[in-house]
């Protein structure tokens, strides 16, 4: 058994059954091993940003790591921006990066790069396999690292000779250490603050945004008069009918500061203290007022859901009837607007669908308009590195089979990872991509306005995606995905309904 | 004057007039400054792999650095694989990476990443501006570094507050140190080897592959009976009628070893010792025989052209009449093959065009078939990080205005950077892209065969780009580029002729 075969056996016995792959020459023995040893579904992606974004969303929907297969330092480099997003989502991923043979690396062949150096900033675990005999144990350690609560990126670099040399020994990943729990003292302290009557916010992140812990959070806030919010960008939120509606800290700094201005206490549950995405002259970096005290109930690496349950018990908070989001609305008609769009979404999305949110500017107000939608999960761009929506939709569909994925997709961001559409077509994934075709970097026009200058042609040219207009229907078709254009809400409603009633991918170009 | 304005003034007074840009929020003050201060052509690219590939080819064709404008660590990350290629081409580039404000970075906002860490492996110079007052001097140092012979990547990280704060002071880049020269002793030593009569190879790289030094190399080899070759992958080679024909060290290890097997001496002129792109079990890493001695006439950072001229003088080598490449062929007819394609290329490309070579498998034999083409420059993928052809064609067209660019483009590689076509359409660039549509990773099928296994469906699935077939004409059209398909050489000949006779971009999908 060679090292590559021991790696495949180790992945399989450790519970990994999916590999998002963009292979190259140095990975041919690994490809051959995946071919010989059944048990892993290999999903070909035509660029590595698709690989990493898909693996991220696969984790978010399945709570299991996928493997990735990447080719040398530059292949890893192409994956980095979506690995950055995955790291901010605290997703578990096992990267396998094929690389130069150990004895060939000193010769500095053209594809030689600093693979470890590029991996380190996004990885909780980086190791280069040194011998074929060690590949199994190294892979097992990587898988354990990926499972470390709440999830980590683990990067195993596989020099070609460690893959092809005999002496491979499969291993099984050890169980990752369980999440640490909040102490009774921490729970009592949170209870004291909540009972104080002072304006208090429960700020939730990570697993606390699943359905059950949201119910506990609602019990707590209803019993104490506190409020609750999710962080601005979240890996996954349980939403819709039968779930507790929860808002987000707004993205624009002024809105966020306004939202948080009256709180005297913020209790963090798997969240971090709220900061602006960027600094602006004369605006604060922290979004909460100076006299607001931050308390940590659980850090992101601690068990937030258990702490919420314990806190609800400590407060003797009675079970809650869910606040009604009102009746499910009818689809909006007429002209396209963000509000009309949210209304149609709430009316038409299928039960248990997965929403992928890279809507950027157009989508800032979607949350309130969709509380009354059928039950769904909402996964969003977490690290601000745009180009993640199409890849995440691809991985979510594989991680949550049987559930329709609806990708709310800004056009500028979509241009980074078009190859994802091809993988959706090849794998016949149930993904509806809705391109908000406004033909500009709308977010940046807003930012430029804040700079104060009256933009001239050079600036406008750098923020404008028209000239030429991108024909998204043609583009999707060219990659094997059927598509149609909607210029009114009525047309959109019909296309969305059609696409969710048919298997396979579809693209709707929404002319906004 | 704020820091961003001082940066723009510094770029302009230091001779930089082109910026390939993919801006984000943290760069808005730089965008505003580029808008207010005329003198820099800003070229919008819709993903950063286009930015970096374009800047690389711009340098190769103009011998001047372009600036890039990148957004935070993840924006730089997307540019890394083509920066890797640029580094291997020894191109000069001035990266401007906007980033979190200095005082905001410790707050770890979602887009915060290890920008310096990612930049370092591909950069000869990395600096983070610390204050607005220093931005001008830091930019000047970066520009000087980019010009350092033969060319370097210089990365200047621009925290947002250093851009927007007043107190900016423009600077002018100091002249870079000139290339060091080979010593008389080194030239005499090379002459001794060449006069020895032992089988000797002049292995040329970098600037030694321009037209004039190739003539000196030809004088040397004709006077001494030595042979000459270029490295496998070259930043730029002067070729065609009126130029000295030169072959390349073959890519496949076996062919390369066979080509070099009889040499007792290899004299490196701006080249490095030839090594395999990858290691293979039982095959050598160095491509020259063990009893071959390597001599360095000039390192890549020394003046190869001057050393060749001095060596020709030292040898009293008479001027040469160029070896005739034979008459320019007629276009090939009938079925498509690599040989037929090279023949038509030699027949039909316009004088002084620029060939961009990311043809991969299909293009391995193009060199011999195109010696008799009209005079042209040939720029190739240098670092093995595929996805560089469309971006390089974009930058070459801007760096060599008035010259038609012809991109020989493998289909698998093209999928990494499709957004380049949009920039070609927007900027109305004279680029003809020829997609070799074989719908597979042909190079990897060859590599997998070497592994020895009889590939099963899992392996074949990972190397197959059909299912669905990509419709390249539709894809190009969707991004604003006209396109047509050729299924015979006759159709290809007509399309190539048409496209070179009309301004603007065109895509030919060649069904191979």
* Tens-digit pLDDT profile for residues A478-505: 999 999 999 999 999 999 999 999 999 9
If we measure between CA atoms, which residue out of A444, A512, A255, A505 comes closest to residue A367? A255
CA of A261 vs chain B CAs: smallest distance (Å) = 19
> pLDDT band for position A322 (50/70/90)?
confident
> pLDDT tens digit string along A82-118?
999 999 999 999 999 999 999 999 999 999 999 999 9
Q: What is the DSSP letter of A210?
A: S
Please give the distance of CA A182 from its chain centroid, rounded to a whole number.
26
Region B69-85: what's the mean pLDDT? 98
Which chain A positions have a beta carbon within 8 Å of B288's beta carbon?
none
The H or E element containing residue A98 is strand A93-99
Q: What is the pLDDT of residue B324?
A: 81
Question: How long a stretch of residues is chain A?
Answer: 512
Q: What is the pLDDT of residue B221?
A: 97
> pLDDT tens digit string along A259-281?
999 999 999 999 999 999 999 99
**Start-end of CATH 3.40.50.1220 domains in chain A:** 184-314
Which of A3, A88, A115, A278 best probes binding to B when mutated, by most B CB atoms within 10 angstroms? A278
Q: Does B103 lie at the interface with A, CB-CB under 8 angstroms?
A: yes
How much of chain A exceeds pLDDT 90, in percent? 93
pLDDT at A9 over 80: yes
Which chain B positions have a beta carbon within 8 Å of A31's beta carbon?
444, 448, 458-459, 462-463
Q: Which two three-digit tokens encode residue B228?
A: 């000459």
Average pLDDT taken over every residue of chain A: 96
Which of B160, B166, B384 best probes binding to A when mutated, by most A CB atoms within 10 angstroms? B384
Q: Which two three-digit tokens encode residue B225?
A: 């009976």
B123/B134 Cα distance (integer angstroms): 20
Q: Which CATH architecture has domain B338-511?
A: 3-Layer(aba) Sandwich (3.40)
pLDDT at B245 over 80: yes
> pLDDT tens digit string along A51-85?
999 999 999 999 999 999 999 999 999 999 999 99
A70/A162 Cα distance (integer angstroms): 16
Q: Which two three-digit tokens encode residue A212?
A: 């059950």
Q: What is the pLDDT of residue A453?
A: 64
Q: What is the pLDDT of residue B132?
A: 98
| Minimal Cβ distance to A479: which of B120, B281, B470 | B470
Which 144-163 residues of chain B touch chain A by CB within 8 A?
A: 160-161
SS3 B373: coil
Chain A: residue whose CA lies nearest to B39: A458
Region B151-174: what's the mean pLDDT? 98
Interface ipTM above 0.90 = yes
Average pLDDT taken over every residue of chain B: 96
CB A121 to CB B113 under 8 A?
yes
A158/A356 Cα distance (integer angstroms): 32
Spelled out in words, what is the top-level CATH class assigned to the domain B184-314?
alpha beta
The H or E element containing residue B427 is none
Q: What is the pLDDT of residue B326?
A: 85
| Minimal Cβ distance to A444: which of B28, B418, B441 | B28
CB-side neighbour CA atoms (13 Å) of A437:
21
- Give the 3-state DSSP-derived string for B222-289, with helices as H, strands as E and coil as C: HHHCCEEEECCCCCCEEECCCCCCCEECCCCHHHHHHHHCCCCEEEEECCCCCECCCCCCCCCCECCC
If we measure between CA atoms, which residue out of A276, A205, A264 comes closest to residue A236? A205
> pLDDT band for position B67 (50/70/90)?
very high
A95/B477 Cα distance (integer angstroms): 36
CB A387 to CB B29 under 8 A?
no
Q: What is the pLDDT of residue B453?
A: 64
Residue B494: how many CB atoms within 10 A of its CB?
16
A170/A13 Cα distance (integer angstroms): 9
> pLDDT tens digit string along A445-462?
988 887 766 788 999 999
Chain A: residue whose CA lies nearest to B89: A110
CA of A402 vs chain B CAs: smallest distance (Å) = 22
How much of chain A exceeds pLDDT 70, in percent? 100
Q: What is the pLDDT of residue A320?
A: 85
> pLDDT tens digit string along B120-147?
999 999 999 999 999 999 999 999 999 9
Size of interface A-B (CB pairs under 8 A): 306
Fold classified for A3-164: Rossmann fold (3.40.50)
- Report helix angle A72-89 to B72-89, nearest 10: 180
Chain B: residue whose CA lies nearest to A439: B46
B278/B288 Cα distance (integer angstroms): 15
**Start-end of CATH 3.40.50.970 domains in chain B:** 3-164, 338-511
> pLDDT band for position B320 (50/70/90)?
confident
Which chain B positions have a beta carbon within 8 Å of A161's beta carbon?
279, 281
- Report helix angle B48-62 to B72-89, nearest 10: 30
pLDDT at B449 over 90: no
Q: What is the DSSP letter of B179?
A: P
CB B110 to CB A118 under 8 A?
no
Region B274-297: what's the mean pLDDT? 97
Name the one residue in this structure whose structure tokens are 């002067």. B238
Please give the distance of CA A314 from its chain centroid, rounded to a whole number.
33
pTM of the model: 0.98
- Could you give the C-alpha distances from A364 to A233, A358, A370, A448, B269, in angstroms and in order? 11, 10, 12, 18, 58
Which 280-339 residues of chain A touch chain B by CB within 8 A?
A: 281, 285-286
A366/A373 Cα distance (integer angstroms): 11
Region B419-438: what's the mean pLDDT? 97
pLDDT at A394 over 70: yes
CB B468 to CB A447 under 8 A?
no
Which chain B positions have a beta carbon within 8 Å of A447's beta carbon?
25, 28
pLDDT at A200 over 80: yes
If we measure between CA atoms, which residue out of A234, A297, A309, A247 comes closest to residue A270? A297
| Minimal Cβ distance to A34: which of B84, B419, B458 | B458
CA of B25 vs chain A CAs: smallest distance (Å) = 6
Q: What is the pLDDT of residue B272?
A: 98
Region B372-388: what's the mean pLDDT? 97
Chain B: residue whose CA lies nearest to A419: B415
| Minimal Cβ distance to A462: which of B31, B272, B448 | B31
Q: What is the pLDDT of residue A325?
A: 84
Q: Does B110 lie at the interface with A, CB-CB under 8 angstroms?
A: yes
B15/B65 Cα distance (integer angstroms): 9
SS3 A509: strand
SS3 B119: helix
Q: What is the pLDDT of residue A324?
A: 81
Q: Which two three-digit tokens encode residue A37?
A: 């040893």
- Burial degree of B145 (CB within 10 A; 0-12, 13-18, 19+): buried
pLDDT at A49 over 80: yes
Region A469-486: what's the mean pLDDT? 98
B105/B233 Cα distance (integer angstroms): 40
Name the one residue in this structure whose structure tokens are 């009837």. A321
Residue A178: how many CB atoms within 10 A of its CB?
9
Region A377-402: what's the mean pLDDT? 98
How much of chain B exceeds pLDDT 90, in percent? 93
């Amino acid at each position: 058994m060679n090292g590559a075969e021991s790696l495949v056996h180790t992945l399989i016995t450790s519970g990994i059954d999916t590999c998002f792959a963009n292979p190259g020459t140095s990975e041919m023995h690994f490809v051959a091993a995946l071919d010989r040893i059944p048990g892993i579904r290999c999903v070909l992606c035509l660029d590595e940003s698709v690989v990493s974004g898909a693996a991220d969303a696969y984790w978010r929907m399945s709570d299991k790591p996928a493997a990735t297969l990447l080719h040398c330092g530059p292949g890893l480099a192409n994956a980095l921006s979506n690995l950055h997003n995955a790291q901010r989502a605290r997703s578990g991923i096992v990267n396998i990066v094929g690389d130069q043979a150990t004895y060939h690396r000193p010769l500095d062949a053209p594809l030689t790069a600093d693979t470890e150096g590029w991996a380190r900033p996004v990885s909780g675990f980086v190791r280069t396999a040194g011998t074929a005999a060690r590949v199994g144990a190294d892979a097992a350690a990587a898988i354990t690292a990926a499972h470390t609560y709440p999830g980590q990126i683990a990067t195993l670099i596989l020099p070609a000779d460690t893959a092809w040399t005999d002496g491979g020994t499969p291993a099984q990943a050890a169980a990752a250490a369980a999440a640490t729990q909040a102490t009774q003292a921490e729970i009592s302290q949170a209870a004291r603050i909540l009972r104080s009557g002072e304006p208090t916010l429960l700020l939730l992140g990570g697993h606390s945004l699943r359905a059950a812990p949201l119910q506990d959070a609602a019990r707590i806030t209803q019993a104490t008069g506190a409020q609750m919010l999710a962080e601005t960008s979240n890996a996954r939120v349980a939403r819709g009918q039968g779930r507790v509606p929860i808002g987000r800290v707004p993205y624009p700094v002024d809105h966020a500061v306004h939202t948080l201005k009256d709180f005297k206490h913020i209790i963090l549950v798997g969240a971090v203290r709220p900061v602006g995405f960027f600094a602006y002259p004369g605006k604060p970096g922290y979004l909460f007022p100076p006299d607001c005290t931050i308390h940590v109930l659980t850090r992101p690496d601690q068990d937030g859901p258990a702490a919420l349950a314990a806190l609800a018990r400590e407060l003797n908070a009675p079970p809650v009837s869910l606040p009604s989001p009102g009746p499910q609305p009818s689809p909006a008609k007429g002209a396209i607007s963000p509000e009309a769009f949210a209304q149609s979404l709430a009316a038409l999305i299928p039960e248990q669908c997965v929403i992928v949110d890279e809507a950027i500017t157009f989508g800032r107000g979607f949350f309130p308009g969709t509380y009354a939608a059928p039950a769904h999960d909402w996964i969003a761009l977490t690290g601000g590195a745009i180009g993640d929506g199409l890849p995440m939709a691809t991985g979510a569909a594989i991680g949550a089979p049987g559930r329709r994925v609806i990708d709310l997709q800004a056009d500028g961001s979509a241009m980074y990872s078009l190859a994802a559409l091809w993988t959706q077509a090849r794998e016949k994934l149930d993904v509806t991509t809705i391109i908000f075709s406004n033909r500009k970097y709308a977010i940046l026009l807003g930012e430029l306005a804040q700079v104060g200058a009256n933009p001239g042609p050079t600036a406008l040219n750098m923020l404008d995606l028209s000239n030429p207009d991108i024909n998204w229907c043609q583009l999707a078709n060219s990659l094997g995905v059927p598509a149609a254009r909607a210029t009114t809400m009525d047309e959109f409603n019909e296309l969305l309904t059609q696409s969710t009633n048919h298997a396979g991918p579809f693209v709707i170009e929404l002319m906004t």
